[in-house]
Amino acid sequence: MCMDSDAKNTGISRRLFLKGSILTPLALALGSAAISAVYLRPAQARGFYLRPPGAIEEARFLAACVKCGKCAQACPYKSIVMAGGEAGVGIGTPHIVPRENPCYLCPDLPCVKACPSGALDKQLTEVEKVRMGTAVIVDREGCLSIRGLRCEVCYRQCPLIDKAITIENRHNIRTGEHTIMEPVIHKDKCVGCGICEKVCVREKPVIAVQQRVTEQKDFYEF
Amino acid sequence: MNFKRWGIARCAVQLLMIALLASPLAGLAIFTGNLAAAELLGLPLADPLAFLQALLGGRVFVLSYLLSALLVVGFYFLLGGRTFCGWVCPVGLVTELADRLRRKLGTGTQTLPLTLNRWSLALVLLVVMATGVPLFELLSPIGIISRAIVFAALLPLLLVAAILLMELLVARRVWCRSLCPLGGFYSLLAAFSPLRIGFVAEQCTHCNDCLKVCPVEEVLQPSLELNHPQVVAGDCTRCMACLDACPAKALKISIGYQPVSRDVTDPLKGGR
């Protein structure tokens, strides 16, 4: 009698054990695998997100950022926006959409000061040392200045005028008597704030902030 | 039914947290950030699990960030560990409301084992160590709800809706009870916390009203049956619903560590 009930008890507890200790972690693992298939694509696969000033290297940034939104709350221009679910692994991370609202390079960098976790590096104190990305003329045919018209809006509005963007004059061989005043970007000086992308007069900006390509030194050591 | 003193206090704190999250929208400068990292009246606070993920995945170490995480750990240690779940977490508030609806519908009576949240905590830490991906920060419904309040990022709320649907139809409060890794973290902390639910066996009338309201009744029940002076398990969220429910005042707040008396026969082993 007593043994019978004991055996019964062990049977139930074994079933419970199986259910609790094997099936549920398995279900959890399957669920997380399904979610990670969507989420854990490499960061590069989702295109370039312009991060706030001082952001550390993207792969580490995605983990170091705790998605608290304090940088966005500290931004006086509301330039920093928080990514939604469309950003996948970058969900809830701060970024800047320069065509809508670029970074206006506050001299005291309140976003960097607000970051608690070190995702925005507090060693950055000078705006000229910001390296969020770099401006690139993505459509030379579309650029009014390069076509020989007087525009140069990007040059005039650049916070690092004559450093990050300079105007280089050359003879306009098409008309034979005018000068082409071409805006030239100097990547070593460009901070990537995106003001040029914001102010470009063309409907689709011909100048845009792109990812700063860093040399992968590991691959070049022979 | 008597006046739910603790229930009202708890609901007030939960709503106050939502109000704090939303306060920057009203232009108030008392609180910034969210439950991952925040600043309250100039005091930096940080979610310890978010800190661990940033440290392991991002390989960044900021001393002030560690201190603010330790401050939060110390605070919740003194106040019962999973107090966070019961009193502060906005997901707790939402799933609690959904649970009231579920009780009315009488659906989703299944439960998963409570210890599962330690597994999901381990999974989160393993994934972040192996791949650098902060798994919980990506999926956290706490972050999703906070950002929905502060930045109107509404689309990710679908995940919260999925959790609510699962809780409503399949398993009772499954996220908070068994899946949330942050809950797992605080359960481990709560096991050592000095603030506990105390039990005065002599006053208990065995009406089981406390078990009906307890979100983690499988840790309350053995404590009552074994006449333990305290509920020791870390899974207790210190929601105090049992204190409100007890008509005999057999449950109370108990501070400190009381040894489990060994003279009582263990009814689970077939004595009594």
Enter the ipTM.
0.86
Q: Assess whether pLDDT exceeds 60 at residue A175.
A: yes
Query: Which residues face A171 on adjacent strands?
Result: A179
Contact residues on chain B for A64, CB-CB shorter than 8 A: 54, 57-60
Contact residues on chain A for B139, CB-CB shorter than 8 A: 35, 39
Contact residues on chain B for A21, CB-CB shorter than 8 A: 113
CATH number for the segment(s) A133-212: 3.30.70.20
Model-wide pTM > 0.90: no
- From the list B39, B123, B155, the residue facing A84 with the nearest CB is B155
Among residues B115, B99, B93, the alpha carbon closest in space to that of B172 is found at B99
Tens digits of residue pLDDT in B232-269: 888 999 999 999 999 988 998 988 888 776 555 555 54
**A168/B240 Cα distance (integer angstroms):** 74
| In A40-141, alpha helices (H) | 58-64, 70-74, 110-114
| Residues of chain B falling short of pLDDT 70 | 1-2, 261-272
d(CA A183, nearest CA chain B) in Å: 37
pLDDT of residue A4: 43
* A62–B37 C-beta distance less than 8 A: no
B197-258 CATH fold: Alpha-Beta Plaits (3.30.70)
Asked if B92 and B14 count as a contact pair (C-beta separation under 8 A), the reply is yes
* A118–B62 C-beta distance less than 8 A: yes
- Give, in degrees to the nearest 5, the angle at Cα A79 between A188 and B22: 145
User: Position of tokens 């009193």?
Assistant: B87
- From the list B68, B120, B153, the residue facing A82 with the nearest CB is B153
d(CA B199, nearest CA chain A) in Å: 28
d(CA A138, nearest CA chain B) in Å: 31
Among residues B242, B229, B35, the alpha carbon closest in space to that of A116 is found at B35
d(CA B245, nearest CA chain A) in Å: 30
**A83/A78 Cα distance (integer angstroms):** 14
**B48/B65 Cα distance (integer angstroms):** 9
Residues 6+ apart with CB under 8 A from A59: A43, B132
Q: Where in chain A is the domain with CATH 3.30.70.20?
A: 133-212
Tens digits of residue pLDDT in A54-91: 999 988 999 999 999 999 999 999 999 998 877 778 88
- From the list B127, B133, B150, the residue facing A69 with the nearest CB is B150
Tell me phi and psi for residue B35, to 5 degrees: -75, -10
Determine the residue type at A24. Answer: T
Query: Which residues face B38 on adjacent strands?
Result: B33, B45
* CATH class name, domain A46-130: alpha beta
pLDDT tier at A220 (50, 70, 90 boundaries)?
low
Domain boundaries, chain B: 5-189, 197-258
Contacts with B, A 7-66, CB within 8 Å? 20-21, 24-25, 28-29, 32, 35-36, 39-40, 56, 59-66
